Structure 1
Amino acid sequence: MEHFSQEEIQKIAEVTMEVFGYDPPVRAALLQGMPRRFAGLLPGGMTAPTIGLKLDLDYLNTVPRLDDGNIPLKSWLRNASWLGAGRADAEPLRRFHEAIDEKVTGSPPIKTVGFTELQEVVVHHDDMLPYAYMKAGVSAGEAVAKLLVTRYLNDEVQKNSSGNPSKFLGTGWLVAPGLMLTNNHVVNAREKGEPPASDSDFELQAKSTVALFDYDADGAAGSSATAIELIARDRRLDYALLRIDSGARKPLSHGQRLAATSSQEDRLALNIIQHPDGDPKKFAIRNNLLTAATDTELRYFTDTMAGSSGSPVLNDLWEAVGLHRGATRVTGVKFNGRDVAYVNVGTQLSAIKTDLAQRYRGKVPELGI
């Protein structure tokens, strides 16, 4: 199965040559982050740049998920977007990265009805925080894990091109002792356009989910735990709750339901601890203001990527207030005088707890439900 049509691959090649070229240093930068053994198989390294670029792209276009859950063409386009940051002529590459990102994560479309877009947010107040803020953030990060979900179809494990189980990536976190919260679409392990997993496959995928805690740097082994059971799920709120043997690891504390303020001086900062694209744990704590809120959803500028789905949305006390679920592209929105391409969206934790109380009462005593 190809990710893009040949016409689209040709467009990617043309824009890449116009913006960067494809000499060895550029090629190395675009292959950054791919397994060395895999990158060595690419056919474009020993030919003229134009031919080599097309050979590499044609090959990458046919490669599905690797054993670690990553998709090489998505990594290539992510690197191209990073190299072209701030350049208008690189916009098509960012669009292609967005397209493959949306396709392979299976994140449901985000409706933006009911939110008032901010045309400008400029904040003029003291942003200093206590010294203990950083220490508390590191402590909160211990409850956050990289998730790997094995895909099933008709009760059978699906294999990648190497013959190994196909893995989907996400982030999850301990909402209570032994309870892991993530997105429904992470456990669903389907790409855009595919039918949702059957109840049986979803259950198997939930029980196959491996949480890798303490994956905090490249080369870190981390400590893994496998889910025991699926407790609850909801597609509308996009959450799944799994029971997991997390030992004595502490869960995140919970904050209150958030409401958006009309005052630009009092907009709340929302932090996210995440495993973007399955990478080691990262903090998103800059340019991170809340822009809008409803009873069930939050909207914020905080940076995320694919693989960040299922991350906790946290206030400055490092209390969980939401579950990150995706991003929607916007136009005509500025932050501190600069155009903003995306606004991120999460589910209010209070709405998830309300749903659990209404539909799963007696099944979640750890949350008092």
Structure 2
Amino acid sequence: MTTELLSQKESDYLSQLTAAARRYARRTERRETNKAVLATRGVLYADDPARVDKRLARLGADWSLARAIERTPSEPVASAGSTLPMPPDRFDGAVLGLERLIGRNNLTPVAFLEEGALAARSVGRITVKGPGGGHGTGFLVSPALLLTNHHVLRDPADAARSEVAFAFQDGVDGAPLVPAVFGLEPRRFFVTDRDLDFSLVAVAARGSRGEALSSFGRLTLSEAQGKVVVGEFVNIVQHPRGEPKQLALRDSQIVDVLDEFLHYESDTREGSSGSPVFNDQWEVVALHHSAVPKTDDQGRPLSLDGTVWRPETGEQQLAWQANEGVRISRVLGALHTMTPTGEAAGLRDELFTAGPAPGPVPPAPVGSAPPPPPPNGTASGPNGSKTYATDPTAHVTDPTTHLSIPLYVTVELGTPAYPGTPTYPVTGSRPAAAPTPPAAPVPGQSDAASAVQKDVDAALLNRRLAEERPYYDRAADRAARDAYYADLDAGDGDALRRALTELLERTHSPRPRYKPMRLVYPWVDLREDGRLHSVYSGKDFSPEEFIQADAAVLQTRLARVQELLLHESTAGPAEFEAEFDALEEAMPFNCEHVVPQSWFAKLEPMRGDLHHLFACESGCNSFRGNFPYINFPGFQEAVRSACGMREDEGFEPEKGKGTVARATLYFLLRYPGLVGDAAREFPENRLPTLLAWHDADPVGEYERHRNAAVAEIQGNRNPLIDHPEWARRIDFGGVWGH
């Protein structure tokens, strides 16, 4: 009998491999489903709709634009590089980015390669010297810190005998460059997490030949969601087996997203541990940490020859089936739980601040020697002062007991704004023009202004695409309608109501957030004349008017919030919520929820459900408020305007009664129990009013266009538009909350 003794490092690595293989095996069904959806429907449908929505938003797009591109026949335009039938002067970078994501077009600006070259400069080869040493990959994530895997640098002792070499690669002439080699300084900073398989360590400020670490830049990490989705291709810069730097470019496809890990298919090999995984915008989405090995029925990794793999045979003998990376947001989340002090606190905090891109490397002085190490753990500071390194015992070496992550509250008002933007009037028949931003915005507001303009640009692009589409394709919509209800066991009464509720909820995917500027005005709510007609007054506006006016509202709202943040440092969640409610009430969008937002606490998906969102000038929006619909007898006194009549018991619109009735009935079917559970909400005894309006004002071309446009974006349809006759067959008794 022989007993095989494994080193701790070998044992850790074997455990990591088997854990990765178990995760991969558990996700087989989900992964195969993802692949099937990718093959049949495409990248927009394989991941969770909320994640896809965030990805589109990060690209400056939305579902309306994505679906328009996806459904438009491919007609290459050489001068624009687009597959859409758009002249060059209407071509937009967002179009090319979406075509690339969807798989319609492989073109990309040449800047993509230039940005990738800059990002690759921050990636280096790690060499662990001495017994049990080897190679890995790491990358700079702050001015002083390098990120890699725990299994590459397990502890401060490993790090202290290691070095990182940048520019270890071939030049454009094929000749090797002279690498810049830097020592690691775990006494200044070292943290590691075995479960998430990452280590973060300080790097010397100067290389062995005097090179400046700052010349290699850094890769700024972000916790923001929407950096990548299932089906998207990623890029990996790596040092496989310790070889010169290499790149797996867009042949690595995300096939599954787990809570803490990503699974992808790529050409990474051993030695790639610790490599950054990038999306097409060269944002780091994951820390590559392991290949997923093939295993036997006992879960043991297999060698290339089919036998059970043993660590002493080497990584090169493992039989791989996939790769696994740690989601970078989870790494950052773990780092947030740290409570370092002194210099370590400052170094950790630098990780969460944006930094400049790497620039050209200055040549090292001829014959220069590396700077002498600081005596007794100190480093020279300004004016000869001494800055003491952190206590070498102050390392988080295996934080398997995680601390509570601090609560971060994100408030989304749609888009940021300039402070001081004039308040948009809430009365009047025409929206005001968008205000001109001040020439010198308050420091820190340039990003906010850019975000506002990004929304406007995306909305206007959606509008231009709408001009290229037929307004309503009757034959195609009839086929889509028949297919949608094909499996519905209709019946009558409550059975029909329940079947429709189940169908509407199941097919409501994706579930876009409330963005009328992008989704309602450019296409969904257009009339046959290419303009928007107020659902209550009937007055007409151009889509561009409402887009610009809502942008002004967004700017003003956020300006007020920023003032509150600046001057009311003690305000709590309740105060902020009250302020947000007051802002929305005082400065509404030119968009009406036929079921008022207060009835469902402004929650999604109700708030963004396009079936009950309509263009409506803000004056009418404010006039209606949250009053339920009612029929006023001709002899009754009521407050009257161009929008309709209003009194304490309700509101009767001047126009669009059949339209709002069908939208309200849709809402009752889609969200049973949300209406009628509080005072002043639409009571059950008003149902005959909706049915009467539905009968008196039948469905027309406009509503059929709306229904088809909404179905393209969020998947479900309004049964009262598709089958008006069902209104009298459905038992709505079970939809009211009590």
Q: TM-score range by the shorter chain?
A: 0.5 to 0.7
Q: How does 1:318-357 map to 2 (within 5 A)?
A: 318-329=282-293, 342-357=321-336
Q: How far did 1:352 drift? A: 0.7
In terms of fraction of residues, the more strand-rich structure is 1
The Cα offsets for residues 233-276 of structure 1, whole Å up to 9 and x where unpaired, read as: 000000000000252121013343458756xxxx2221100000
TM-score by length of 1: 0.57
Decide whether the 8 Å contact of 2:163 with 2:183 is kept in 1: yes
Aligned with 1:108 (options 16, 40, 52): 16
Query: Which secondary structure state, in structure 2, belongs to the residue aligned with residue 287 of structure 1?
Result: strand
- Rounded to whole Å, the distance in 2 between the matches of 1:341 and 1:167 is 23
State the partner residue of 1:252: 219
Q: 1:344 to 1:360 in 2, by over 3 A?
A: farther
Indicate the residue corresponding to 1:306 in structure 2: 270
Contact 1:260 1:293 in 2 (8 A): no
**CA distance in 2: counterparts of 1:107 and 1:222, whole angstroms:** 34
Q: Aligned residues, how many?
A: 231
What is the one-letter code of the residue matched to 1:356? L
**Residue 338 of structure 2 corresponds to residue 359 of structure 1:** yes
Deviation at 1:203, TM superposition (A): 1.5
* 3-state SS, counterpart of residue 286 of structure 1: strand
Q: Percent identity?
A: 28
**Partner residue of 2:156?**
203
Paired amino acid for 2:269 = M
Q: 1:135 to 1:185 in 2, by over 3 A?
A: same
Structure 2 CA distance for aligned equivalents of residues 186 and 236 of structure 1 = 14
1:216 and 2:178 correspond: no
Contact 2:285 / 2:327 at 8 angstroms: preserved in 1? yes
Give the aligned partner of residue 277 of structure 1.
241
1:1-369 matches, within 5 Å, as 108-109=16-17, 110=20, 111-112=23-24, 113-114=26-27, 116-118=30-32, 119-120=35-36, 121-122=38-39, 124-151=103-130, 158=131, 167-188=133-154, 202-217=155-170, 219-229=176-186, 230-246=189-205, 247-248=213-214, 249-255=216-222, 256-257=224-225, 261=229, 267-329=231-293, 342-361=321-340, 363=345, 364-368=348-352
Counterpart residue type for residue 149 of structure 2: N
1:269–1:315: 8 Å Cα contact kept in structure 2?
A: yes
Q: In the alignment, is the contact (CA less than 8 A) between 1:107 and 1:325 conserved in 2? A: no
Secondary structure of 1:134's aligned partner: helix
Contact 1:107 1:326 survives alignment (8 Å):
no
Structure 1 CA distance for aligned equivalents of residues 129 and 337 of structure 2: 30
Report the CA distance shift for 1:244/1:304 in structure 2 as closer, same or farther (over 3 A).
Answer: same
Q: Contact 2:237–2:276 (CA<8 Å) still a contact in 1?
A: yes
Cα shift readout 1:331-369 (whole Å, capped 9, x = no counterpart): 9xxxxxxxx962210001110111011134553121249
1:130-155 per-position Cα deviation (integer Å, ceiling 9, x unaligned): 1100011111110000000124xxxx
Greater RCO structure (CA 8 Å; 6+ sep):
1
Structure 1 residues 147 and 261, CA, compared in 2 at 3 Å: closer, same or farther? closer
**Match for residue 71 of structure 1?**
none
**Once the 2 structures are TM-superposed, how far is the Cα of residue 104 of structure 1 from its aligned partner?**
11
Deviations 1:189-235 (A, max 9, x none): xxxxxxxxxxxxx2211122200000112643300001011421000
SS at match of 1:206: helix
Amino acid at match of 2:217: K
Structure 1's 104 and 224: CA in aligned 2 closer, same or farther, altered over 3 A?
farther
2:168 partner letter: Y
**Kept in 1: contact 2:227–2:279 (CA 8 A):** no
Give the secondary-structure state (helix, strand or coil) at the position aligned to 1:204: helix
Q: Which has the higher helix share?
A: 2
**TM (normalized to structure 2)?**
0.29
Deviations, residues 105-153 of structure 1 (Å, cap 9, x unaligned): 66722132346223555464212211100011111110000000124xx
Go from structure 1 to structure 2 and tell me whether the alpha carbon gap of 1:275 and 1:360 turns closer, same or farther (over 3 Å shift): farther
Distance in 2 (CA, whole Å) between partners of 1:234 and 1:149 is 18
* Matched AA of 2:151: H
Q: Is the 8 A contact 1:260 1:292 kept in 2?
A: no
Gaps of 5+ in 2: 5-9, 43-102, 206-212, 296-318, 354-738
**For the Cα contact (< 8 Å) 2:139–2:276, is it kept in 1?**
yes
Deviations 1:67-113 (A, max 9, x none): xxxxxxxxxxxxxxxxxxxxxxxxxxxxxxxxxxx999667221323
Is the Cα contact below 8 Å between 1:105 and 1:306 reproduced in 2?
no
Task: Quote how far apart the aligned CAs of 1:302 are.
Answer: 2.3
- Name the CA shift for 1:259/1:219 in 2 (closer, same or farther; >3 Å): closer
The match for 1:31 is: none
Whole-angstrom distance in 2 between the partners of 1:104 and 1:297 = 18
Letter in 2 for 1:177: P
Q: Which runs of 5+ in 1 are unaligned?
A: 5-101, 152-157, 159-165, 189-201, 332-339
**Secondary structure, aligned partner of 2:151:** helix
